[in-house]
Amino acid sequence: MIIKDEIKNLAYEAESSIRPYFDRIDEIAMFNQEKVLDAFIKHGVSEALFNPTTGYGYDDKGREVLDEIYADIFRAEDALVRHNIVNGTHCLAISLFSVLRPGDTLLAATGKPYDTLEEVIGISGSNNGSLKEFGVNYKQVDLINGKVDFEGLKKAITPDVKAVILQRSKGYDWRTTLSCEELGEAISFIKSTKEDAVCIVDNCYGEFTQTTEPTEFGADMVVGSLIKNVGGSLAQSGGYIAGKKKYIELAAYRQTAPGIGKECGATLGQNRFMYQGLFMAPHIVAQALKSAIFCGELLIRMGYEVTPVSSEPRYDIIQAIKFNDSDKLIKFIQGIQKASPVDSYVSPMPWDMPGYQHQVIMAAGTFVSGASIELSADAPIKPPYVAFMQGGITYESARLAIMYAAGEIL
């Protein structure tokens, strides 16, 4: 792996300028690590909880205790953590279908949700099995300059609005990520307008980037993927939903069946990975945040526009880089793949990925397939050709890969 001298010099300058920001990241990681460790100790985690179950999975103590630990960490009443939730979109679909009924309206309070939810909602696609086909209506209020439009929300919250979805991270948009405090302000406003509206937060990429989570600011349900932040790069698959007990029960009924809920579900030997990954997560998220800051600062010095910039607080692990050129975008993402520990010989190309409206290119040379908490980068092939880089289970390896990818577009 040859890294150009010019890139090495720029990287040295970039790293020297961002070192002060690392101290704050370490403080957050220490706080969250204590929170996780306290929960493990409180619930008496032992090796017996890692034992696999098969079949119906009745009386799987490891599964039950992990739910309780997630509830404690998220300061929630209850949680549902399952290895057979296939991704964040699946987790969100479970949440939405569990609380919405025919004639209800779903309101998106932070603009159009992430691309893969379009077919779930029925905004696009065949609508087979979508919320729209089941008679659920949809409307959205776009952000104004990256902030929640409270006046627009006030007009949009009509009596038929049953659930409101808020997306913490930027997705494939060029905007800032919303903090827990900003989400809390929006949730408080929504509840003051319609008290029984169910507020669902897409928390993907945001866990452990602050010392709080959206459930501490009034969210009824928060949703995320285990192959992102909370899985700590060790969980092999899965997702979680944390929040109010009555809504978690509905989600469990949707995930399995009414009357069964959380009582069944063999863990098939996945508990150990989910426990250990959660324990590692605060540290791993800190590594990813440091990697994102380094990436942003290096690319700024190469003349590219990025968001967020180094001095801005970070509420997710994503670094967006605007290339304004499809070739440079593709070369950068291919460079990340070439400098990955797994499948470095593979050259990713744009393709029609299920759930996306544009061709997408993705680099993920990861130990867990597609794990976004490991170093990965992806982008829709559309102007202004923005790459979204995230993850990095060690700052050192991510730094090397980012330098190599930067050299590919020099």
**For residue 164, what pLDDT is reported?**
98
Q: How far is CA 268 from the centre of its chain?
A: 25
Q: How many distinct structural domains can be found in the chain?
A: 2
Find all residues with CB under 8 Å of 177, minimum gap 6, and list them. Answer: 168, 169, 170, 205, 206, 308, 314, 315, 316, 318
Is beta strand 239-243 parallel, antiparallel or unpaired with respect to 305-307? unpaired
**For residue 113, what pLDDT is reported?**
92
The residue with tokens 């300059």 is 145
Residue 88 corresponds to which tokens in the numbers above? 């964040």
**For residue 325, what pLDDT is reported?**
96
DSSP 319: E
Domain boundary among 246, 268, 290: 268
How far apart, in whole angstroms, are the C-alpha atoms of residue 34 and residue 287? 17
End-to-end CA distance of the chain: 16
**For residue 127, what pLDDT is reported?**
81
Find all residues with CB under 8 Å of 261, minimum gap 6, and list them. Answer: 249, 252, 253, 255
Same domain as 177, residue 302: no
How far apart, in whole angstroms, are the C-alpha atoms of residue 322 and residue 161? 36
Dihedral sign computed on CA atoms, order 38, 44, 45, 46: positive
Domain boundary among 268, 286, 302: 268
Same domain as 235, residue 191: yes
The residue with tokens 């069946």 is 257
Same domain as 289, residue 174: no
Residue 40 lies in a domain: no
Q: Are 262 and 252 in contact (CB under 8 A)?
A: yes
How far apart, in whole angstroms, are the C-alpha atoms of residue 96 and residue 163? 8
**For residue 171, what pLDDT is reported?**
85
Q: Which residues constitute the domain of residue 363?
A: 5-32+278-408
Where are any strands of DSSP class E within 137-262? Answer: 137-140, 161-167, 198-202, 221-225, 239-243
Residue 45 lies in a domain: no
362: β partners: 378
**For residue 188, what pLDDT is reported?**
98
Q: What pTM was computed for the model?
A: 0.96
Residue 360 lies in a domain: yes
Same domain as 91, residue 183: yes
Residue 401 lies in a domain: yes
- In the chain (410 residues long), the average pLDDT of successive 10-residue segments reads 93 96 97 98 98 96 98 98 97 98 98 92 88 97 96 97 97 93 98 98 98 98 98 98 98 97 97 98 98 98 97 97 97 97 96 82 95 96 96 97 96
Same domain as 143, residue 249: yes
**For residue 344, what pLDDT is reported?**
97
Residue 37 lies in a domain: no
Same domain as 108, residue 70: yes
**For residue 1, what pLDDT is reported?**
79
Residue 381 corresponds to which tokens in the numbers above? 């092939």
**For residue 353, what pLDDT is reported?**
77
Same domain as 262, residue 176: yes
- 139: domain CATH number is 3.40.640.10
Domain boundary among 221, 242, 268: 268
Residue 267 corresponds to which tokens in the numbers above? 């863990």
